[in-house]
Amino acid sequence: MKFNQRLLSVILALLTLFSLCVLPGTAEAAEDEITILFTHDLHSHLLPSVSESGKGEYGGYARLMTVIKEQKSKDPDAILVDGGDFSMGSLFQTAYPTSAIELRMMGAMGYDATTFGNHEYDYLQSGLIGMLNAAADSGDAVPTIVNANYWPPKEGQEGYSEAMWDALANYGVKKYTILERGGVYYVLFGIFGFDADDCAPNSGMILEDPIETAKAAVAAGVAECEAEYGVHPVVVCLSHSGTSGGKGEDYELAEAVDGIDVIISGHTHTTLREPVQVNGTLIVSAAEYGRNLGVLKLRKDGDGVVLKSYELIPIDENVAEDPAISSLVEGFKADVEADYLSKYGYTFDQVLVNNPYTFDTVKQVSATPHESTLCNIFSDAYKRAVEQATGKRVDVAITAAGVIRGSLPVGKVTVSDVFNAASLGVGTEGELIAIYLTGKDLKNAIELDASVQPLMTSAQLFMSGVEYSFNQSRMIFNKVDYAMLRGEDGTLTEIEDDKLYHVVAGMYMGQMLGSAEETSMGILTITPRDEQGNPIAVEDLVNYVVKTESGANLKEWYAIADYLDSMEGDLDSRYAEPDGRKVVYKSLNPIKLLRNANIFTYTVLVLIVGIITAIVFIIRAVGRKQRRKKTA
């Protein structure tokens, strides 16, 4: 009995000692558990979107909220962050400057922080000022905005705006912020990329070097956290720079800047099924429009982190909607109908046409060069709308892959669907401009489509009023071998170099022409002109927005909606298949390689012939020299 008591005492003592040794360690390990939930490029997609196949849905804030809650039930200390472009992409964006719907929704969903994307500047500084003030003054919870390297001109610099600085201060925009969850400290900072800056030509902001700014933000944030709280933080960069095939600006950022643990990579709408690891940094992306919730689980390891797990959780029709968020969304939908759509005589979910055809997805539009029936509809709609609004014949209407934001679903096509597909704009949602191009510049635009698209996928063009073909095997800047104007009745007319042609395009596309010219190294110049042939400066294109009969600006989405509505039932069957307006092929046939060749092709031919002649001459000279040696 005494032996059993002694044995029990020893066991209890050992258990006590074990608990003293193990339990603190277990608690410390629990404190070191890190969960980062993330999204990016939400683009005002509060409602679910129909899958490109027409079967099933993806996204939607109410469903996203359900998954966020599930993840936070597993780890209440999880942080929730976003990589920018939270606005511009659905009808809800129309309330951006006045109601800040997107930021208030993110606040209701528990987002800790986000950053600015290029589309946050689509409503210009005036729109951004209104949005920031509306969000701050709403009294609702809103996420912190971190932005290290994209700020307005300072007082004394050209473009200084006191109202802009006041709005940033009113909201509380910071270069970085320090956050604590469950004993883990985070430094969150935002970075704006070079391409994002190119895509925000009217932001009025000054881009500071992302790498140098990131180094400074990491150093300042870490130093402050260590001095204030005595711990080394987890450093998270909310970047609107992007990756492409595992490379890109965020790859370069991670490679050049030490001390970043995680980069949430937005802007390029990338889906990374596994994190990209560079220089001790994990780069992650979860796709656009709330298709997935990214879940990154880490463990502290000294001053760094170790990857435990990574998951992209699909947000689809199998996920239940959170009732509270669903109610908020419906309330905002009613506001948009009352404050915006009523002016156009439409409602949010009004059906315009029944569509039996499967169209390109957004990614297919910008993939390999081809004729797109989806974009045929858009360009035809623009041509029709401007002719009706102005009473003037339009020769050519153009749209580009880079401005297509969504497709038209199979089945019932609503006003909301159309807006989602054509929501991109500068200043306001996309507006149509009417300008003139010389025939030479119109041909350059067609050649730009053929030659620049492989270098700049957003530059793939789709046109109404012309038909053309290009051979991908031909010389760059001379791929187009045939181009003619095509009338409504199919009549073909030659494009004359010195003649002015009436051309319609979206404002955003018009203002991005410079980027396309730059990509072609200035070879394919395209100069917008007025009716008299005088050049128009890019900043003056706003003066060429087309007006409706009522005096309102003609919107891209409205032109498409009105066109579809005019079909009165089913979508016109001529959009079931391509109609031959753009033919893309590959051929090494010498006749096709030289048909309508220009100076680029002939210059290269001369060089090739010259090189071959020189080689033959050298070979013969060497042969003669060797023969002389033998006979000597």
Tokens 């929730």: give the residue: 80
- The tokens describing 19, both together, are 């608990």
362: nearest Cα among 317, 421, 409, 320: 421
Given a cut of 50, whether residue 178 has pLDDT beyond it is yes
Contact present, 465 and 485 (Cβ < 8 Å): yes
The DSSP bridge partners found for residue 39 are 82
Q: For position 29, what pLDDT does the model report?
A: 40
pLDDT at residue 210, rounded to an integer = 98
Q: Which helix (H) or strand (E) is 57 found in, with range?
A: strand 57-58
Q: Which of 108-122, 164-178, 606-620 has the weakest average pLDDT? A: 606-620
DSSP string covering 415-427, please? Answer: HHHHHHHT---SS
Mean per-residue pLDDT over the chain, rounded: 90
- Over residues 581-615, the pLDDT tens digits come to 999 999 999 988 888 777 667 676 677 777 888 78
Comparing 16-30, 124-138, 263-277, 349-363, the range with the smallest average pLDDT is: 16-30
Instruction: Note the pLDDT of residue 426.
Output: 60
Region 177-192: mean pLDDT is 97
Closest to 37 in 3D by CA, of 233, 186, 146, 140 = 186
How many angstroms separate the first and last alpha carbons of the chain?
Answer: 121
Considering the entire predicted model, what is its pTM? 0.81
For 48-75, what is each residue's pLDDT tens digit? Answer: 988 866 678 999 999 999 999 999 999 9
Structure tokens at 199: 């895509």
Residue in 308, 264, 299, 295 with CA at minimum distance from that of residue 83: 264
Return the half-sphere exposure (C-beta side, CA atoms, 13 A cut-off) of residue 590. Answer: 1
1 confidence band (pLDDT: 50, 70, 90): very low
**At 20, is the pLDDT very low, low, confident or very high (cuts 50, 70, 90)?**
very low
Class of domain 30-314: alpha beta
Burial 567-577 (b: 16+ CB within 10 A, else e): eeeebeeebee
Predicted local distance difference test score (pLDDT) of residue 427: 61
Stated as kind and residue range, the H or E segment containing 518 is helix 513-519
Q: Give me the percent of the chain exceeding a pLDDT of 90.
A: 75
pLDDT over threshold 60, residue 25: no
Residues 471, 586 contacting (CB under 8 angstroms): yes
The Cα 117–Cα 193 span in angstroms is 9
The mean pLDDT of 345-367, rounded to a whole number, is 93
Please tell me which residue, 25 or 138, carries the higher pLDDT value: 138
Backbone angles phi, psi at 67, to 5 degrees: -70, -35
Q: How sure is the predictor about 369, in pLDDT bands with cuts at 50, 70 and 90?
A: very high
As a whole number of angstroms, the distance between CA 348 and CA 616 comes to 72
Could you say which DSSP state residue 474 is in? S
DSSP bridge pairs for 151: 206
The pLDDT value given to residue 514: 66
pLDDT, position 14: 38
Rounded CA-CA distance 147/151 in Å is 8
pLDDT of 368 above 50: yes
Domains of the chain, by residue range, sit at 30-314, 349-585, 601-631
Report pLDDT for 600: 63
The pLDDT-based confidence of 31 (bands split at 50, 70, 90) is: low
Per-residue confidence (pLDDT) for residue 22, from 0 to 100? 38
The structure tokens listed for 280 are 């001790």
**Separation of alpha carbons 306 and 298, rounded Å:** 5
**Cβ atoms within 10 A of the Cβ of 303, count?**
15
**With the C-alpha atoms ordered 534, 539, 541, 542, is the resulting torsion angle positive or negative?**
negative
* Amino acid, single-letter form, for residue 307: L
- With a pLDDT cut of 70, the percent of the chain lying above it is 92
Burial 330-366 (b: 16+ CB within 10 A, else e): eebbebbbeebbeeeebebebebbebebbbbbbebbb
Dist. CA 369–CA 456, nearest whole Å:
11
pLDDT in tens, 67-110: 999 999 999 999 999 999 999 999 999 999 999 999 999 999 99
Q: What angle do CA 551, 553, 554 make, to 5 degrees?
A: 110
Q: Is the pLDDT of residue 500 over 60?
A: yes
Full strand arrangement of the beta sheet holding 304-314: 144-145, 113-114, 79-82, 33-39, 292-301, 304-314
- Spatial distance between the Cα atoms of 282 and 272, rounded to a whole number of angstroms: 11
Q: Is the pLDDT of residue 30 over 80?
A: no
Strands (E), 465-568: 466-471, 480-486, 492-494, 500-506
User: Between 363 and 229, whose confidence is greater?
Assistant: 229
Partners of 176 in beta bridges: 189
Residues in the chain: 632
User: Do 30-314 and 349-585 come out as alike in CATH topology?
Assistant: no
Contact (Cβ atoms closer than 8 angstroms) between residue 233 and residue 300: no
Q: What's the rounded Cα separation, in Å, for the pair 404 and 506?
A: 11
Q: Which residues contact 111 (CB under 8 A, 6 or more apart)?
A: 80, 81, 82, 143
Its CATH class, for the domain covering 349-585, is alpha beta
Handedness of CA 210, 146, 335, 289 (dihedral sign): positive
What is the Cα–Cα distance from 421 to 361, expressed in whole angstroms? 10
Give the pLDDT of residue 3: 40
- Write the single-letter amino acid at 120: E
Q: Quick one: three-class SS letters along 272-296?
A: CCCCEEECCEEEECECCCCCEEEEE
Residue closest to 235 by CA, chosen among 484, 19, 36: 36
Distances in Å between the alpha carbon of 498 and those of 289, 368, 529, 552, 596?
A: 45, 32, 13, 33, 18
Is the per-residue pLDDT at 24 higher than 50? no
